[in-house]
Amino acid sequence: MSMAFQVIVRNRATQDIRQQANYILVNGNRELGEKFLEFVEYAFAQLAITPNMGKVVSSLSDMGTIRQWRIKNFKDYLIFYTVQEKWRFYGFCMEREI
């Protein structure tokens, strides 16, 4: 059995990430927008390795325990996710590969 996790980014979450990158690009600069996308990818890679490191924000959801993790160098941006064997989630979730 593999202990690796697969990061699954739902369509809505992908749209949100692109929208934020575009906002930073328009209101900041190109380099900062590109850095945002790099740090989002880095955060996903971290969560795939250590998925339970995020702060628990809700454990009463029918989707399971919801956690949050900050995007490095972009402290106002959070990733909300759940770690599950079988998943059902509206945004971003992770699934264990068996």
Q: Which residues pair with 7 in a beta bridge?
A: 94
Residue 67, in any domain of the structure:
yes
**Domain membership of residue 84 as a residue range:** 8-93
How many structural domains compose the chain? 1
- Over residues 19-39, the pLDDT tens digits come to 999 999 999 788 999 999 999
In Å, what is the CA distance from 28 to each residue of 16, 31, 48, 75? 17, 9, 30, 16
- Over residues 50-60, the pLDDT tens digits come to 888 889 987 66
Q: What's the pTM value of the predicted model, to 2 decimals?
A: 0.77
**Residue 6 CB contacts under 8 Å (≥ 6 apart), including other chains:** 48, 94, 95, 96, 97
Mean residue pLDDT of the chain comes to 81
Residue 56, in any domain of the structure:
yes
Residue 69, in any domain of the structure:
yes
Residue 1, in any domain of the structure:
no
Alpha-helix residue ranges (DSSP H) falling in the chain:
11-27, 30-49
- Over residues 39-48, the pLDDT tens digits come to 999 999 999 8
